[in-house]
């Protein structure tokens, strides 16, 4: 949402003249509603209402439809966070962990070890194959997800202790017929299947190790805040 608001401010700065004209016309229409009567008053009232609607919609979409992807991403991350809340006390999750470029959506520590969850909200039918996630013309390579997990592992190693293994997971909200698919070390799972899949994984790390990993993740979050 911070990125969405940033993009909206940028779009408002770029197109401020158009927004100024729109606001001026709205104010003019409202004045006309006050000073006119009869049919003219109704026309100006309708015009003012329509222009206010345009302004509100423009604000909600961030000044331009290309800003919407950031808002959709934020909604998807919230959906994933809500699902993760169903996990038991043996799981620890840190959301929206900042990194040098962008963020890690969800860093999860539990009995199977450490997992990096990347949320994707996609409108076109989704398929994972050929070491990539495809949705219409969008192609997201598996190497990018593995690289993000490796980057998190490196960051944790820098905070002391050994370098942990981080499992890259892509959580998909959309039309994903495969529901659960693993390829080249990356797990692709529909959001509604996430908790069932996580709880089905065999335990691999002790409670002490989980606590250590959670502390190291929270240390990164504290340094970034």
125 lies in the same domain as 215? yes
∠ at Cα 102 (96, 108), nearest 5°? 35
109 lies in the same domain as 216? yes
Q: What is the model's pTM?
A: 0.68
Nearest CA-CA partner of 140 in 115, 168, 114, 166: 168
41 lies in the same domain as 141? no
Show the domain range for 33: 2-63
78 lies in the same domain as 178? yes
pLDDT in tens, 59-84: 665 555 454 454 455 667 788 888 99
Structure tokens at 92: 């620890």
17 lies in the same domain as 51? yes
37 lies in the same domain as 127? no
40 lies in the same domain as 122? no
pLDDT in tens, 110-145: 999 999 999 998 889 999 999 999 999 899 999 999
38 lies in the same domain as 77? no
Q: What is the arithmetic mean of pLDDT over 31-43? A: 87
Phi/psi of residue 163, nearest 5 degrees? -85, 115
72 lies in the same domain as 51? no
121 lies in the same domain as 168? yes
Q: What is the arithmetic mean of pLDDT over 5-31? A: 79
Give Cβ neighbours of residue 28 (< 8 Å, ≥ 6 apart).
Answer: none
13 lies in the same domain as 110? no
Q: What is the tally of structural domains in the chain? A: 2
């Amino acid at each position: 949402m911070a990125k969405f608001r940033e993009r909206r401010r940028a779009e408002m700065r770029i197109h401020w003249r158009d927004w100024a004209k729109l606001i001026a016309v709205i104010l003019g229409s409202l004045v006309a509603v006050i000073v006119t009567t009869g049919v003219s008053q109704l026309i100006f009232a309708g015009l003012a209402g329509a222009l206010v609607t345009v302004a509100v919609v423009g604000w909600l979409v961030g000044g331009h439809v290309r800003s919407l992807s950031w808002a959709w991403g934020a909604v998807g991350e919230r959906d994933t966070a809500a699902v993760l809340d169903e996990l038991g006390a043996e799981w620890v999750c840190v959301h929206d962990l900042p990194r040098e470029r962008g963020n890690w959506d969800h860093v999860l520590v539990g009995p199977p070890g450490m997992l990096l969850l990347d949320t994707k909200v996609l409108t076109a039918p989704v398929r994972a194959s050929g070491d990539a996630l495809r949705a219409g013309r969008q192609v997201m390579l598996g190497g990018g997800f593995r690289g993000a997990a490796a980057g998190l592992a490196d960051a944790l190693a820098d905070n002391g202790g050994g370098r942990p293994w981080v499992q890259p997971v892509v959580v998909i909200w959309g039309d994903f017929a495969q529901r659960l698919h693993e390829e080249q070390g990356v797990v692709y799972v529909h959001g509604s299947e996430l908790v069932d899949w996580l709880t089905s994984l065999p335990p691999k790390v002790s409670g002490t190790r989980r606590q250590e990993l959670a502390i190291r993740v929270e240390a990164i979050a504290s340094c970034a805040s």
